[in-house]
């Protein structure tokens, strides 16, 4: 089975979707272990968030599309290794590894298509981040802890708080605190001009 990605397949999820989806993921994954055609429901559910995460990390549409396809090919091929945990966490780990491998293979590229990033929701945090230049933001992100950076990137990629919490194996309160501290740290870095150092 070949997975072809198209940006038109993106969809946003709500908290209610997240709860319903998480309850069915393990059952769908078990069904897909027996019949790979059942994997298509999981693909449809997660292609948007995985693509958005890849786009934020790779900053290139083609690379993000390729990485997204690779994530789902690897997920389907490795489905026998899935052991009834949080499917989104298992899939996110594959996505993270694919992104890291892709970044290692290519040379760093300047931010050429800043408008290609998905539009975040209009929260106070988002407004503060949007005031920063893309260059300063990318530089500042590298100075966050790995957990803080992951939370910010996943949120910008459209992942909901409950889904981020499930993927990272943390409580929703812990994710909110990581996000709050990350935004505060980003503000400090940008304000002090330390983001580019």
CA distance 102 to 67: 7
Residue-wise pLDDT for 139-178, tens only, equals: 788 888 989 988 888 888 888 888 888 888 899 999 999 9
Q: Where are the beta strands (DSSP E) in the chain?
A: none
Residue tagged 């999820």 (tokens): 13
Instruction: Supply the CATH classification number for the domain 119-197.
Output: 1.10.10.10
Give the pair of three-digit tokens for residue 94: 């594959």
CB 61 within 8 A of CB 116: yes
CA distance 128 to 151: 16
- Where do runs of H (alpha helix) occur along 3-60? 15-34, 39-58
What confidence tier does 59 reach under pLDDT thresholds 50, 70, 90? confident
CA distance 65 to 71: 10
Residue-wise pLDDT for 75-132, tens only, equals: 989 988 888 788 888 999 999 999 999 988 875 555 444 445 455 455 555 555 555 4
CA distance 139 to 60: 17
Give the pair of three-digit tokens for residue 1: 């089975």
CA distance 176 to 160: 11
Per-residue model confidence (pLDDT) at position 14: 46
CA distance 152 to 157: 9
Intervals of CATH 1.10.10.10 along the chain: 119-197
131 burial type by CB count under 10 A (0-12 exposed, 13-18 middle, 19+ buried): exposed
What confidence tier does 138 reach under pLDDT thresholds 50, 70, 90? confident
What is the fold of 1-117? Rna Polymerase Sigma Factor; Chain: A (1.10.1740)
Intervals of CATH 1.10.1740.10 along the chain: 1-117
pTM (2 decimals)? 0.62
């Amino acid at each position: 089975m070949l997975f072809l990605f198209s940006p038109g397949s993106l969809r946003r999820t709500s908290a209610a979707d997240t709860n319903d989806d998480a309850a069915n993921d393990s059952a769908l994954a078990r069904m897909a272990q027996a019949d790979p055609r059942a994997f298509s429901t999981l693909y449809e559910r997660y292609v948007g968030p995985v693509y958005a995460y890849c786009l934020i990390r790779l900053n290139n549409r083609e690379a993000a599309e390729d990485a997204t396809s690779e994530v789902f090919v690897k997920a389907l091929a490795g489905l026998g290794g899935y052991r009834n945990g949080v499917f989104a966490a298992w899939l996110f780990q594959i996505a993270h590894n694919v992104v890291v491998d892709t970044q290692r293979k290519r040379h760093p590229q300047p931010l050429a298509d800043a408008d290609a990033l998905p539009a975040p929701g209009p929260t106070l945090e988002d407004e503060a981040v949007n005031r920063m230049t893309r260059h300063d933001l990318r530089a500042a992100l590298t100075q966050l802890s790995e957990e803080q950076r992951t939370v910010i990137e996943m949120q910008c990629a459209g992942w909901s708080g409950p889904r981020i919490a499930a993927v990272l194996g943390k409580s929703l309160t812990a994710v909110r605190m990581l996000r709050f501290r990350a935004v505060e740290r980003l503000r400090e870095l940008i304000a002090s001009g330390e983001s580019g150092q």
